[in-house]
């Protein structure tokens, strides 16, 4: 691959998916091993819980609906927390009090990419930190506006845009397109619009796959 023709990596994920939180760190670690492989990363939306209303729901109610009970999730939370810690991340499930609908979070990520000098990854990281580490309420417009300000976006403009339906249809269509392609689990890493890797695979495995796909595409050019 060349700088003029980098390998495109589309990462389909959701900000409330804990394995996407872990997977983001792992793909970044993988790319750090591949300084000689030019890539172009795009963050694509996915709705892990499309049934959650725009205003969100109580976290305990969500866990009861999805897992049967709050207690049933504790074992899962322990495994996720251990995996996150291995990547240097904090996962504090006890601090999460509200389960958000993520359309507004995905709008922020989209705007950060389009209008904030390619800061989609920074926006996604900030939202995930707020949710998984700090227990932030991603249905609260003040929280979302502050998250945008934290990465250098204009908070007044962001607040105004969040008060509209701008790009709601676009994000919804992109998420539907991912589902229509058969993506049901996230994160999913799509390499060169051709190969898909599902799940938060270890960084070394991701790095090997990216290098292999890049070499294959180089051979065809």
What pLDDT, in 10s, does the model give residues 61-114?
A: 999 999 999 999 999 999 999 999 999 999 999 999 999 999 999 999 999 998
For residue 53, what pLDDT is reported? 97
β 39-45/7-13 pair status? parallel
What is the SS3 string spanning the chain? CECCECEEEEEEECCCCHHHHHHHHHHHHHHHCCCCCCEEEEEEECCCCCCCCCCCEEHHHHHHHHHCCHHHHHHHHHHHHHHHHHCCCCCCHHHCCEECCCHHHHHHHHHHHHHCCCCHHHHHHHHHHHHHHCCCCCCCHHHHHHHHHHCCCCHHHHHHHHCCCCCHHHHHHHHHHHHHCCCCCCCEEEECCCEEEECCCCHHHHHHHHHHHHHHHHHCC
| pLDDT tens-place string over residues 108-160 | 999 999 876 689 999 999 999 999 999 999 999 999 999 999 999 999 999 99
List, in order, residues 6 or more apart from 72 with CB less than 8 Å away: 63
Rounded Cα distance between 187 and 192, Å, is 16
Q: Is the pLDDT of residue 221 over 80?
A: no
Q: How many CA atoms lie within 13 A of 6 on its CB side?
A: 14
Q: Where are the domains of the chain?
A: 7-49+101-219
Q: 68, 61, 44: which is closest to 96 by C-alpha?
A: 61
How many residues belong to the chain? Answer: 221
For residue 114, what pLDDT is reported? 86
Q: Is the pLDDT of residue 161 over 70?
A: yes
For residue 2, what pLDDT is reported? 72
For residue 1, what pLDDT is reported? 65
Using 50, 70 and 90 to split pLDDT, how confident is the model at 218?
A: confident
Average pLDDT over residues 183-206: 97
Average pLDDT over residues 174-192: 96
| pLDDT tens-place string over residues 18-58 | 999 999 999 999 999 999 999 999 999 999 999 999 999 99
* Residues 7-49+101-219, CATH architecture: 3-Layer(aba) Sandwich (3.40)
Which of the two residues, 157 and 218, has the higher pLDDT score?
Answer: 157
For residue 115, what pLDDT is reported? 77
């Amino acid at each position: 691959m060349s700088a003029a023709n980098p390998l495109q990596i589309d990462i389909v994920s959701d900000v409330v998916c804990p394995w996407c939180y872990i997977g983001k760190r792992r793909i970044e670690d993988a790319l750090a091993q591949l300084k000689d492989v030019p890539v172009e990363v795009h963050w694509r939306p996915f709705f892990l819980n499309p049934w959650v209303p725009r205003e969100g729901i109580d976290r305990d109610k969500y866990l009861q609906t999805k897992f049967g009970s709050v207690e049933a999730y504790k074992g899962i939370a322990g495994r996720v927390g251990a995996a996150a810690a291995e990547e240097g991340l904090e996962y504090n499930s006890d601090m999460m009090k509200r389960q958000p609908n993520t359309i507004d979070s995905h709008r922020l990520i989209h705007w950060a990419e389009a209008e904030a000098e390619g800061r989609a990854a920074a926006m996604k990281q900030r939202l995930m930190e707020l949710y998984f580490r700090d227990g932030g309420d991603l249905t609260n417009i003040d929280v979302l506006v502050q998250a945008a300000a934290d990465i250098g976006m204009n908070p007044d403009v962001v607040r105004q845009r969040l008060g509209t339906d701008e790009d709601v249809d676009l994000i919804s269509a992109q998420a539907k397109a991912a589902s229509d392609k058969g993506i049901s689990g996230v994160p999913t890493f799509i390499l060169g619009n051709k190969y898909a890797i599902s799940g938060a695979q270890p960084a070394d495995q991701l790095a090997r796959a990216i290098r292999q796909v890049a070499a294959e595409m180089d051979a065809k050019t």
